Amino acid sequence: MGDDLVVPFAQGTAKILTLSGLRDLEAWKRAFHNKCKDHRYYELVEETLANDFEYHYAVLEDGSGNIRGIQPIFFVRQNLIEGMRGAFRKIVDLIRKKFPRFLTMRVLMIGCAAGAGELGACNPEDEQFVAEALSATLRKYARENRASLVVFKDFPAGYRSTLAILSEHGYARVPSMPMTRLKLSFQNFDQYLQTLGYVSRKSLRRKFRKTERAAKIDMEVMNDITPHIDTIYPLYLQVHERSPMKFETLTNEFFCRVAKVMPERARFFIWRETDKIIAFSLCLVCGDTIYDECLGLDYDVALDLHLYFYTMRDVIRWAIDQRFRYYCSGPLNYDPKLHLGHELAPLDLYVLHTRALLNPIFRFAVKYLEPTRHDPILRKFPNANQL
């Protein structure tokens, strides 16, 4: 592995590599082999995202030199009040006009720069080893690289028992903005509508009738979006720029390559009014689940045609026809998802200040900085207590 940085811990060593030093390792292909976003996705993200991320990979070996896991990590300068609203946010925004880095920190993040985090264990039984190795090594590595925080980014709640070891090393667990999930236990979309409340059902049907009276819209499902990239990418940016919370910005190269890199998983849905593309959605399919990753809308017509609801209807209808059991959607836009019968799919942040003396204070403060505090809709979901 050449002259790589080596961080020892009680059970073995962590070797910090770049992607070029990783590609030929067979363990890299095994690390996420049972995940929807496998090693190919992490490579794609590093090679195409335009953000100022510094990507590295922790190769975790036991005392015998066996690679038990490979964990993507990256450095980024993070806005500490990304999810905050109200007067305090406005004051901070004014201060940042003079001091752009006010209330930002250099952070070492563990997980995926474009999606939820996963542990990169080579085998399921190695997950605990990976968690223990990361908890024992990352504070020192982060401090040596001038990072003030270590953050496990957006790890699903299913990891809570495995990642409980982090609390023994000073990490605080706080909720991140959750994904949502809809169980597709229906024969068709109309049967799904019958499970919703009367007001929601009536409102949706009214929206669909209005759209269908106003325009003739056709949907197409394809793998390769490259011929249409100049049309769909501005639609993605329209939605992205309206989002109150932004972390990564996908690029047109990402959209062109995702279906080539992961052809069995990537599906593009496009909607045309006459011959003009007015909406698209990128989904990933894996096992019994379809993941609605991102949406692009033409806001010249999107609101009048209720395209958010229209596109979601078509994706769910397609997923039911393909016999998927679950439809998962990304964070935000919780009000319509609440009324559409979704449940929360909680994600967690595990946060540590790299200076031991400051960490107890930070553990207290982070409870007030965590983003879910500022979205009252979340508390209305029936499983909000799982956050």
All domains of the chain in start order, with CATH: 5-178+346-386 (3.40.630.30), 185-324 (3.40.630.30)
Residue 3 banded pLDDT, cuts 50, 70, 90: very low
- Separation CA 155–CA 112 (nearest Å): 9
Report pLDDT for 77: 84
Residue 368 banded pLDDT, cuts 50, 70, 90: confident
Report pLDDT for 245: 74
pLDDT above 70 coverage of the chain, percent: 92
pLDDT above 90 coverage of the chain, percent: 79
Better pLDDT: 371 or 148: 148
Task: List Cα–Cα distances, 216 to 147, 176, 296, 314, in angstroms.
Answer: 53, 39, 19, 14
**Three-class SS of residue 359?**
helix
User: Quick count: other Cβ atoms within 10 Å of Cβ 355?
Assistant: 13
Q: Is the pLDDT assigned to residue 286 strictly greater than 90?
A: yes
Give the predicted TM-score (pTM) of the model.
Answer: 0.91
Structure tokens of 138? 């990352």
Report pLDDT for 358: 84
Tell me what the mean pLDDT of segment 7-21 comes to. 92
Report pLDDT for 362: 82
Structure tokens of 46? 């590093």
Report pLDDT for 103: 54
Report pLDDT for 5: 86
User: Quick count: other Cβ atoms within 10 Å of Cβ 129?
Assistant: 21
- Separation CA 172–CA 190 (nearest Å): 44
Structure tokens of 85? 């609203």
Mean pLDDT value across the chain: 90
CA-based max dimension of the chain: 68
Residue 4 banded pLDDT, cuts 50, 70, 90: low
Report pLDDT for 370: 78
Q: Per-residue pLDDT tens for 133-147?
A: 999 999 999 999 999
- Separation CA 225–CA 138 (nearest Å): 39
Q: Is the pLDDT assigned to residue 374 strictly greater than 90?
A: no
Q: Is the pLDDT assigned to residue 249 strictly greater than 50?
A: yes
- Separation CA 308–CA 295 (nearest Å): 9
Report pLDDT for 91: 45
Q: Per-residue pLDDT tens for 69-103?
A: 999 999 998 765 555 555 444 444 553 354 444 45
User: Quick count: other Cβ atoms within 10 Å of Cβ 59?
Assistant: 24
Report pLDDT for 349: 95
Report pLDDT for 24: 87
| Distance, C-alpha 117 to centroid of its chain | 7
- Separation CA 151–CA 177 (nearest Å): 14
Nearest residue to 76 (alpha-carbon basis) of 17, 150, 14 = 150
Q: At what angle do helices 307-321 and 198-214 cross, to 10 degrees?
A: 100
- Separation CA 311–CA 177 (nearest Å): 23
Report pLDDT for 6: 87
- Separation CA 51–CA 56 (nearest Å): 15
Report pLDDT for 319: 97
Report pLDDT for 85: 53
- Separation CA 176–CA 63 (nearest Å): 35
